[in-house]
């Protein structure tokens, strides 16, 4: 292995990288990205990569969008910072809240701003607890998430997250956060169980959990329309219809985590619309600003807002918020991003491009390494297995996912491996059909190289 560059050494000696094997990083060094344009990013050697993950599921409009750059610069010159604490406000935050109320897929009374999806979902937890205290229901506090879900990394949002590595040695989850079954038919359906039967069983399991815990103690259920970091899991037909019946029966507040699925990713502006359900509240982030600056939001229904008013009368203040809640530069960039989504009909573009994207994804499902290819809209994944017939996974110590990602980078493509040797693909929404083809051509070559190595190491089942 060649020695690390000076910049790589500086990185290793100064940064803590999220979701990285820090011990291994000291040997391999990071891939350092220098610039980006469109769907491409370029490393310090000038090599181009298709950014097949839109950064982290977020750079919807690609890189180098001058309208967004100018929106940020203009607002910085006018009002570089202001806040919303103690009855202060500013035009960009007001206008953005108005716009989000207009386009929200659920009845929305007010909007609460923060800076990340983790903060948004952490705030959801606090708002649910706060609301039920105001409503005289102090026992109704438990929140149900799902195994393999991803909702963030703060203490509360990481507890909602249903991935083992987000809990191990962090002493998580906290009390009152529960997890029900993951809606992945390929992995968790019983033999011969149809998608409709699987959906019904999962709804029954949710109901059983609520009844076991006592409905008077269960406050909310949170779900991503399509699960992202947990494996790009598209729920079975009818899943949310059945789940919503249970939530309504037991007066459970439904939260849709739209941090990945919001703003066109699934071919509709919001994921809950694509999956056919109406939550009480939604969490937004990532594509809200096309990730050009940090920004997130929580929609607040009228029942929750009235509770905030009651508590303000009692306590004298609403004691929650962040320095950067509604940051004027972030709000200005979000407004311009929403303008572009509307003007360019981005969601409709995704709906038109999605069949081509999903067809190329499905074709890779026939590859000897791939157990399942799955996705919706412009997001998908390939689950790599040692035996297609039995769905046997590779030994994690074999490092199949990381190796495939490394081969993809050598082919000029950035994708991400998730738990269980799952390769996720989530390109910028502006990707062209020709770029979709190039993305999958490069990914196919990476898979072929991985297969050759797997055969050489005799890691597949005979």
Question: At 436, which helix (H) or strand (E)?
Answer: helix 433-457
Q: Residue 171: is it exposed, middle or buried by C-beta count within 10 angstroms (0-12/13-18/19+)?
A: exposed
Q: Are residues 267 and 367 in the same domain?
A: no
Last residue of a domain, one of 315, 343, 371: 343
CATH assignment at residue 184: 3.40.640.10
21 domain-assigned: no
Q: Are residues 42 and 93 in the same domain?
A: no
Show the CA angle centred on residue 65, arms to residues 62 and 71, nearest 5°: 130
Q: Are residues 338 and 353 in the same domain?
A: no
Nearest to 299, CA basis, from 285, 318, 315: 285
Q: Is residue 429 a contact partner of residue 346, using CB atoms and an 8 Å limit? A: yes
The total of other beta-carbon atoms located within 10 Å of residue 168's CB is 9
20 domain-assigned: no
Q: How many CA atoms are closer than 13 Å to the CA of 64, on its beta-carbon side? A: 9
Q: Are residues 332 and 353 in the same domain?
A: no
Nearest to 199, CA basis, from 181, 215, 217, 187: 181
Last residue of a domain, one of 343, 371, 404: 343
Q: Are residues 151 and 46 in the same domain?
A: no
**What is residue 453's predicted lDDT score, i.e. its pLDDT?**
97
- What CA–CA distance (Å, rounded) separates 427 from 39? 7
Alpha helices in 166-284 (DSSP H): 185-188, 195-213, 239-249, 271-275
Q: How many CA atoms are closer than 13 Å to the CA of 58, on its beta-carbon side? A: 18
313 domain-assigned: yes
Q: Are residues 293 and 355 in the same domain?
A: no
7 domain-assigned: no
**What is residue 138's predicted lDDT score, i.e. its pLDDT?**
97
23 domain-assigned: no
Q: Are residues 294 and 323 in the same domain?
A: yes
- What CA–CA distance (Å, rounded) separates 229 from 145? 14
410 domain-assigned: yes
CATH assignment at residue 59: 3.90.1150.10
299 domain-assigned: yes
Q: Is residue 117 a contact partner of residue 152, using CB atoms and an 8 Å limit? A: yes
244 domain-assigned: yes
Give the number of domains in the chain.
2
Q: Are residues 269 and 388 in the same domain?
A: no
The dihedrals phi and psi of 281, each to the nearest 5 degrees, come to -145, 155
Q: Are residues 325 and 287 in the same domain?
A: yes
Q: Are residues 276 and 318 in the same domain?
A: yes
CA-to-CA dists, residue 145 to 151, 209, 265, angstroms = 9, 11, 22
Q: Are residues 235 and 268 in the same domain?
A: yes
Question: At 330, which helix (H) or strand (E)?
Answer: helix 328-343
Give me the domain span that covers residue 185.
Answer: 67-343
Q: Are residues 357 and 259 in the same domain?
A: no
Nearest to 248, CA basis, from 240, 259, 237: 240
pTM (global) more than 0.85:
yes
Q: Measure CA 24 to chain center.
A: 26
pLDDT beneath 70: ranges in the chain: 1, 462
Last residue of a domain, one of 343, 377, 405: 343
The total of other beta-carbon atoms located within 10 Å of residue 316's CB is 8
């Amino acid at each position: 292995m060649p020695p690390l560059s000076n910049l790589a050494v500086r990185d290793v000696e100064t940064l803590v990288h999220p979701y990285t094997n820090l011990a291994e990083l000291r040997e391999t060094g990071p891939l350092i990205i220098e610039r980006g344009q469109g769907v491409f990013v370029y490393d310090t050697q000038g090599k181009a990569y298709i950014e097949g993950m839109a950064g982290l599921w977020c750079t919807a409009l690609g890189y180098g969008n001058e309208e967004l750059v100018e929106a940020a610069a203009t607002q910085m010159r006018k009002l570089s910072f202001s806040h919303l604490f103690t009855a202060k406000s500013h035009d960009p935050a007001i206008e953005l809240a108005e716009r989000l109320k207009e386009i929200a897929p659920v009845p929305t009374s007010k909007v609460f701003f923060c800076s990340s999806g983790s903060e948004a979902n952490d705030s959801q937890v606090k708002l649910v607890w706060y609301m039920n205290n105001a409503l005289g229901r102090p026992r109704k506090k438990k929140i149900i998430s799902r195994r393999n879900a991803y909702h963030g990394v703060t203490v509360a949002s990481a507890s909602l997250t249903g991935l083992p590595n987000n809990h191990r040695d962090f002493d998580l989850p906290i009390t009152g956060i529960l997890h029900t079954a993951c809606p992945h038919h390929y992995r968790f359906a019983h033999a011969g169980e149809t998608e409709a039967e699987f959906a019904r069983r999962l709804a029954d399991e949710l109901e059983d959990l609520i009844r076991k815990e006592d409905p008077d103690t269960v406050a909310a259920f949170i779900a991503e329309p399509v699960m992202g970091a947990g494996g790009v899991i598209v729920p079975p037909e009818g899943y949310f219809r059945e789940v919503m019946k249970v939530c309504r029966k037991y007066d459970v507040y439904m939260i849709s985590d739209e941090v990945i699925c919001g703003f066109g990713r699934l071919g509709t502006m919001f994921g809950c619309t694509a999956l056919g359900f109406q939550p009480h509240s939604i969490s937004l982030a990532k594509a809200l600003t096309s990730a050009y600056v940090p920004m997130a939001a929580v929609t607040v229904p009228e029942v929750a807002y009235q509770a905030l008013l009651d508590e303000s009368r009692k306590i004298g203040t609403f004691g929650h918020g962040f320095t950067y809640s509604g940051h004027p530069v972030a709000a200005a960039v979000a407004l311009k991003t929403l303008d572009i989504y509307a003007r360019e009909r981005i969601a409709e573009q995704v709906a038109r491009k999605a069949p081509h994207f999903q067809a190329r994804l499905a074709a890779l499902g026939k590859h000897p390494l791939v157990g399942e290819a799955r996705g919706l809209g412009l997001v998908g994944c390939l689950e790599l297995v040692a035996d297609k017939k039995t769905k046997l996974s590779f030994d994690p110590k074999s490092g199949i996912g990381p190796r495939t990602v490394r081969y993809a980078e050598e082919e000029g493509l950035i994708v991400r491996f998730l738990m269980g040797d799952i390769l996720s693909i989530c390109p910028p929404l502006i990707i062209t059909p020709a770029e979709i083809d190039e993305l999958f051509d490069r990914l196919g070559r990476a898979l072929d190289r991985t297969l050759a190595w797997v055969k050489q190491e005799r890691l597949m089942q005979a």
